[in-house]
Amino acid sequence: MKILSDLSIAKIFVGFLLIAWIIILIIVSGNHALACVDEKGCLKSQCKIEWLKPHYKSMVIENSNRCPNKQRL
């Protein structure tokens, strides 16, 4: 006795993949929005240098002269 057809199984599978893809995109964009250091190595305005790990602190201090909105470090 067949409960689901091949077409309904395919629709469920595609729906699952679509939902997983949307969740992955939400996680990636949320991570990018919450990051404290941008791609140039500058500290974003909503973050404080005390929150960073030592490796990132040194990177921010080294790149502070290239940052458009220089914060007090």
pTM over 0.75: no
DSSP 66: G
Confidence of residue 67 (pLDDT cuts 50, 70, 90): confident
Q: What is the pLDDT of residue 39?
A: 78
What is the domain range of residue 18? Answer: 1-34
Cβ contact 52:71 at 8 Å? no
Higher pLDDT among residues 26 and 35, named by residue: 26
DSSP assigned state of 71: P
Same domain, 45 and 58: yes
Note whether 50 and 71 are within 8 A (CB).
Answer: no
Does 29 share its domain with 40?
A: no
Question: Both 12 and 22 in a single domain?
Answer: yes
Spacing of C-alpha 19 from chain mean position: 18
Length of the chain equals: 73
Angle at 70 between CA 69 and CA 73, to 5 degrees: 145
